Amino acid sequence: MPLLSRLHQLLNADTCHAYIHTLRWKDRSLHCPRCQSHAVGPWGNYHYRPRLKRYWCHGCRRTFNDLTHTLFAQTQRSLPHWSLATFLLCLSCSSRRIARELGVHVRTSYRWCWWLRNAALSYEMDRQLVGTVEADELYHTAGSKGQAKQGGKRSLGRRPRRRRKKREPGRGHYDKDRPAMIAWVSRQGPVVVQAVRDFTVTTVQKAVDLAVQMGSRLYTDSASSYRALNGYVHEFVNHTKKEYAHGEIHEPIPLIEFPCYSALNLFGRAPWLEHSKG
């Protein structure tokens, strides 16, 4: 039985419409999303969605509502479907699981997840961290799980790799199927995680220029790529001397925690608002 059918008291159309209205206009005055005019007035509602308020814009002489120019405009599914999908996506549920809980087709939920992730990314791409920023990197081993290179059911000509490809010695590299991932964690809360080709000075300098505002304070480990960075106040702890914290200088919490951070950021920022399906 889909989860949505059990949550209808909590997630009904009325509460969802009221929530979207508050979320969209809480920190700015009501205006037309097409021409940005503030000369707007109420214009009744829709007979098929009584709780969805409609407004008239005196600027472009057209009507709009709380969902105009959002992912939810003219969607065939109800707002509770979308709200629950967003919530489950933020809890890192798979699109198959979301489809099951919502009672929609797998392709529908896959498409929704894709739209929601894109909308969330569009809010975050230009953001730079400021203040005190901690950084650390890890190398993610690609899993090949035994597929043949050309795909299909042809024999592999080798033993399957099972869950994970075996690690090779040394630092990871994209060409070795083990790219580096660098996490920049601001002490004010926001996080930027980047997947990079390798961990050379040039790459890390490019990554930090994108993620962190010039002049910020950086706390890292003693890797030479961090120590060569220009444009930042840099301090580090030396793990080879068994030093893991030095006053307020220390590295971020284990990287395994990051999905929780991104989920919180995603949901707090209301990413579905004002983003077309493009």
User: Virtual CA dihedral for 129, 193, 230, 189, nearest 10 degrees?
Assistant: 30
- In angstroms, what is the minimal distance from the CB of 57 to Zn ion? 3
Say whether residue 106 binds Zn ion (CB under 5 A).
no
Q: Which of residues 178-217 bind Zn ion (CB under 5 A)?
A: none
Q: 273: burial class by Cβ within 10 Å (0-12, 13-18, 19+)? A: middle
Q: Is beta strand 217-221 parallel, antiparallel or unpaired with respect to 132-139?
A: parallel
Its sign, for the CA torsion 195, 218, 252, 266, is negative
Looking at residue 48, its amino acid is: Y
Say whether residue 245 binds Zn ion (CB under 5 A).
no
Its sign, for the CA torsion 26, 27, 29, 34, is negative
Number of residues that bind Zn ion (CB under 5 A): 7
Of residues 32 and 135, the one with the C-beta less far from Zn ion: 32
Of residues 37 and 238, the one with the C-beta less far from Zn ion: 37
For Zn ion, which residue of 7, 35, 201, 223 counts as binding (CB under 5 A)? Answer: 35
Of residues 34 and 167, the one with the C-beta less far from Zn ion: 34
Say whether residue 39 binds Zn ion (CB under 5 A).
no
For Zn ion, which residue of 34, 38, 164, 206 counts as binding (CB under 5 A)? Answer: 34
- In angstroms, what is the minimal distance from the CB of 74 to Zn ion? 18
CB-CB contact of 215 with 233 (8 Å): yes
Q: Which of residues 42-101 bind Zn ion (CB under 5 A)?
A: 57, 59-60
Q: Of 87, 85, 49, whose CA–CA distance to 67 is shortest?
A: 49
Adjacent-strand bridge partners of 134: 185, 219
Say how far apart CA 98 and CA 94 lie, in whole Å. Answer: 6
Say whether residue 222 binds Zn ion (CB under 5 A).
no
- In angstroms, what is the minimal distance from the CB of 171 to Zn ion? 55
Of residues 34 and 197, the one with the C-beta less far from Zn ion: 34
Of residues 24 and 81, the one with the C-beta less far from Zn ion: 24
Of residues 32 and 204, the one with the C-beta less far from Zn ion: 32
Q: Of 140, 139, 138, 142, whose CA–CA distance to 163 is shortest?
A: 142
Say whether residue 33 binds Zn ion (CB under 5 A).
no
For Zn ion, which residue of 5, 22, 37, 202 counts as binding (CB under 5 A)? Answer: 37
Contacting positions for Zn ion (CB under 5 A) = 32, 34-35, 37, 57, 59-60
